[in-house]
């Protein structure tokens, strides 16, 4: 039986595309049903109702003023290939269901691994799952009992430690926000040491030369990992190639749609064997945390093919220049103090008189600046995830907010 819902409809898809090309304004009164409708209204009517809600109501991450979070805009080549993915619904769990997609994932991992001194890995939905996968391999290969990470490490490290039934040791950071190596236990023979390359709060990169001190070293490079592909910034990750495993979120500075992440291993065959299960209905082992999973490597490969390394680096470098520009402006403002030197495009600032950050953020456009806390103190935070941001547009708004302060 032919069912038109499963056949590409040119008018329907053009209607969907039009809403992307000319975004509708946000709907004030979402007209969504409160209960599951018994009778459907059809695809075109659904798109008409959803466009102002889903597109009109969304936060636009490539807008000139978007400079608050680690979430980038995505290139259109990734939208097109994600659309292909949705229409094809491949499943990398079984080779029968992904004759091409599996090779594409292997290829993209092979392209990227050498930048980190790793010999392979696989894609994940993000660094939360990558971190869990890495520590799982560390536990089962090296008999890790304890996970050691700085107090600025991402919550997913403590979460993974908990899930794996391991002990967690939080190590203090120094005044620059890096893991304080003088506070590390001398015996790390049964420990996985987690170093962060770009802390979530402040973008601080731990001393990666500490790798090899512990039985296993994992680098959580969710944010800063892509800097390795930029000639200008690669040296900030010096030492990363000594790690046993590395997490990177492709939906941060690789500009990918969520959910896209990667886990890399120095010795992938061994690591994969530790995180694999067989299954009677599978012809190949199920590697990693996920069961069914889609072809998220396709948009990443397409982005890297269309931009090349230099095109990716140009966008990363541009975002970093925006951070440097904003940093310089804040640095010369008489009312402002800054946290540390910024190295990976995350800027923390606040007025010298520290109270009332909430009232400043209320005067700034939503999505331009966020709030975070370091050592119990609040900071305003800007993040260079958007290479299309316009600091000349944002700066007068920050100045105005500070004037009234």
Ligand X SMILES: Cc1ncc(COP(=O)(O)O)c(C=O)c1O
Which chain residues interact with ligand X by CB under 6 A? 70, 126-128, 154, 156, 196, 198-200, 220, 222-223, 249, 261
Q: Considering beta carbons, is residue 259 or 390 the nearer one to ligand X?
A: 259
As a whole number of angstroms, the distance between CA 330 and CA 350 comes to: 9
**Tokens 């990976």 label which residue?**
344
CB of 150 to ligand X, least distance (A): 11
CB of 198 to ligand X, least distance (A): 6
Q: Considering beta carbons, is residue 156 or 369 the nearer one to ligand X?
A: 156
Q: How many CB atoms lie within 10 A of CB 277?
A: 10
What ranges make up the beta strands (E) of 267-397?
Answer: 276-277, 286-287, 336-338, 346-351, 370-374, 377-383
- Please answer whether residues 374 and 345 qualify as being in contact, where contact means their C-beta atoms are separated by less than 8 angstroms: no
Q: Considering beta carbons, is residue 105 or 220 the nearer one to ligand X?
A: 220
Return the exposure string of 100-110: e unless at least 16 CB atoms fall within 10 Å of the residue's CB, then b. ebbebbeebbe
Task: Supply φ then ψ for residue 298, to 5 degrees.
Answer: -65, -50
Q: Considering beta carbons, is residue 196 or 268 the nearer one to ligand X?
A: 196
CB of 202 to ligand X, least distance (A): 10
Q: Considering beta carbons, is residue 52 or 288 the nearer one to ligand X?
A: 288
As a whole number of angstroms, the distance between CA 20 and CA 238 comes to: 41
CB of 229 to ligand X, least distance (A): 18
Q: Considering beta carbons, is residue 19 or 262 the nearer one to ligand X?
A: 262
CB of 323 to ligand X, least distance (A): 16
Helices 76-88 and 297-331 sit at what angle, rounded to 10 degrees? 150
- Please answer whether residues 188 and 235 qualify as being in contact, where contact means their C-beta atoms are separated by less than 8 angstroms: no
Q: Considering beta carbons, is residue 227 or 402 the nearer one to ligand X?
A: 227
- Please answer whether residues 105 and 272 qualify as being in contact, where contact means their C-beta atoms are separated by less than 8 angstroms: no
Closest Cα to residue 281, out of 18, 96, 6, 100?
96
CB of 316 to ligand X, least distance (A): 16
As a whole number of angstroms, the distance between CA 16 and CA 103 comes to: 30
Q: Considering beta carbons, is residue 19 or 223 the nearer one to ligand X?
A: 223
CB of 223 to ligand X, least distance (A): 5
Which residues 6+ apart lie within 8 Å of 227 measured at CB? 233, 234, 236, 237, 253, 316, 344
CB of 156 to ligand X, least distance (A): 5
């Amino acid at each position: 039986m032919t069912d038109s819902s499963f056949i590409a409809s040119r008018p329907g898809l053009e209607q969907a595309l039009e809403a992307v090309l000319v975004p509708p304004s946000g709907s004030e009164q979402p007209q969504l049903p409160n209960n599951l409708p018994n009778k459907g209204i059809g695809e075109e009517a659904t798109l008409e109702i959803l466009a102002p809600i889903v597109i009109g109501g969304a936060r636009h991450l490539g807008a000139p003023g978007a400079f608050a979070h680690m979430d980038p805009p995505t290139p259109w080549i990734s939208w097109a290939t994600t659309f292909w993915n949705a229409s094809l619904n491949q499943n990398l769990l079984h080779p029968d269901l992904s004759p091409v997609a599996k090779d594409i994932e292997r290829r993209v991992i092979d392209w990227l691994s050498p930048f980190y001194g790793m010999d392979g890995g696989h894609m994940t939905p993000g660094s939360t799952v990558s971190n869990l996968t890495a520590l799982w391999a560390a536990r089962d290969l090296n008999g890790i009992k304890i996970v050691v990470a700085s107090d600025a490490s991402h919550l997913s490290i403590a979460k993974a430690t908990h899930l794996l039934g391991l002990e967690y040791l939080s190590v203090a950071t120094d005044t620059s926000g890096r893991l304080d190596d003088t506070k590390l236990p001398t015996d790390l023979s049964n420990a996985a040491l987690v170093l962060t390359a770009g802390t979530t709060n402040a973008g601080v990169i731990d001393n990666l030369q500490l790798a090899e001190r512990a039985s296993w070293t994992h680098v959580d490079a969710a944010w800063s990992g892509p800097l390795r592909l930029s000639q200008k910034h690669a040296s900030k990750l010096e030492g990363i190639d000594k790690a046993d495993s590395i997490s990177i979120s492709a939906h941060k500075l690789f500009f990918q749609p969520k959910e896209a992440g990667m886990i890399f291993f120095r010795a992938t065959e061994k690591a994969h064997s530790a995180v694999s299960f067989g299954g009677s209905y599978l012809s190949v082992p199920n590697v990693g945390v996920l069961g069914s999973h889609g072809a998220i490597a396709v948009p990443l490969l397409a982005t890297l093919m269309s931009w090349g390394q230099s095109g990716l680096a140009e966008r990363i470098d541009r975002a970093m220049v925006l951070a440097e520009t904003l940093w310089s402006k804040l640095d010369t403002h008489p009312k402002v103090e800054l946290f540390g030197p910024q190295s990976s495009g995350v800027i923390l600032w606040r007025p010298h008189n520290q109270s009332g950050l909430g009232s400043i953020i209320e005067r700034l456009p939503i999505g331009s600046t966020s709030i975070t806390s370091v050592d119990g103190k609040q900071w305003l935070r800007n993040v260079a995830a958007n290479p299309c941001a316009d600091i000349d547009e944002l700066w007068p708004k920050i100045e105005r907010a500070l004037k009234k302060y």
